[in-house]
A and B are shown apart, each in its own frame.
Chain A
């Protein structure tokens, strides 16, 4: 699957990419929300977005809303350093909101499968 990873912290982005690549996905890394939107402008062939929440200029949630406004309806996984529950409450349309921790390598892959499964059933 071709996945866009959005993170302003280069290391965190690399980590997410490493996890996804090891699961056989193709990853395109971008540094911020604006770059992400620009990428979608030129190339829509992404099956999923995995984005950090807290980024300068455009936050992860704002990016999600921009994408939905632009009718880009692919699954969106939000990564956050905070408690995910309030985030899901604020934006229930999010597919998954995950806390960043050492179990990311497992939880992220599970989340992707769950998101895909839900889409298939919907």
Chain B
């Protein structure tokens, strides 16, 4: 399968990419790792007239700690994230980075590119939504910073303006006593998740002081499950409170019935993944080291 013909432009810097994007207009797309864009172009679901390749720019694959946050550069790959200090400090980042697709895709796909694509079944958005994440954007006329929740507007649609590129993501480091977990269910490694759950909890003794819950692949955008989080906050974590919150999470979405399963099946997945994720998150909040990753059928 061939993509439709396009013109190729290699960016020397992100600034250069933004300038070229402004010049070429909306028919131009940015190419980073290409792990989503190239398949979309081969299937002709997307046929940009021009590609601006940022993949040859040096020094953009950083993930570094600065002022209590982790800065994720535009070209940091999933593999870079899985091996980063950020993923050791914030285990939910590791859950996601080490489980996305397969080794080959993780070696080339980027975290920032995944957010820029805003695929409803993407893994990163739910994870980064339960953390404090800012999106740093760059254009000819300057920079701006947006919260991730406002950045993702619809399926495959972000708040990026014409001529604007994503420069980096900034994820606030979590505090002691906070633990998270991301679990996705998929039929085999290379496919998208059927449903996924991200949870980040802050505990005080047995009591959940703060909770954040986000669901992936069950709607056109990731779902921030506020009612589910509220059901956990202020309560002791036990089978009963977790079951109540799991029910609230399942009720907060209307998953589309498709080749990955029926609405009810996906709701059942959400309940189960949620319960497991809360248990792992709680153990991590108490300082335990727990390794989990995506579930396969």
B and A form one assembly: no
**B binding-site residues for A, Cβ under 8 Å:** none
